[in-house]
Amino acid sequence: MNKESTSKTLDNLKWLLAILVFAAAVVGNSYFVEIAFLYRVLGVLSLFIVGLGLIALTNFGSNSIKLMKESRTEIRKVVWPTRMETTQTFMIVFGAIVILCLFFWGLESLLSFLTKLVLG
């Protein structure tokens, strides 16, 4: 077996284990109904964290974590508009909406008038 197929097999095994952990969380939550709700929630959360940890160890999981870190870096580079810029943009959009509403109201009135004129 070469290294790539061994890695893929290990990834598949980790995914299977993660799915089993998730299933154990769901089944355990419904099986242990008599146990206090808080303890069941803590158990489900801990099992989900373990399952997500197993997924993070896969190739897909490591790529996903890398993508999330890069996304956070890109978000920090964004230049957000100031309050004044946001207010000015809002006023322009609001004004354009009012003008378009008046235009379409006038157009609808004209077409309604012409329709009544033609049909009598």
Helical residues (DSSP H) of the chain, grouped into ranges = 3-31, 37-56, 59-77, 83-119
pLDDT tens by residue, the chain, 120 residues: 577 778 888 899 999 999 999 999 999 999 998 989 999 999 999 999 999 999 999 999 999 999 999 999 999 999 999 999 999 999 999 999 999 999 999 999 999 999 999 997
Per-residue pLDDT of 55-78, as tens digits, reads 999 999 999 999 999 999 999 999
Axis-axis angle for helices 3-31, 37-56 (nearest 10): 170
Write the burial class of residue 48 (CB in 10 Å: 0-12 exposed, 13-18 middle, 19+ buried).
Answer: middle
**CA gap 120, 83 in Å, rounded:** 54
Tell me the whole-structure pTM to 2 decimals: 0.57
Pair 19, 1: CB distance under 8 Å: no
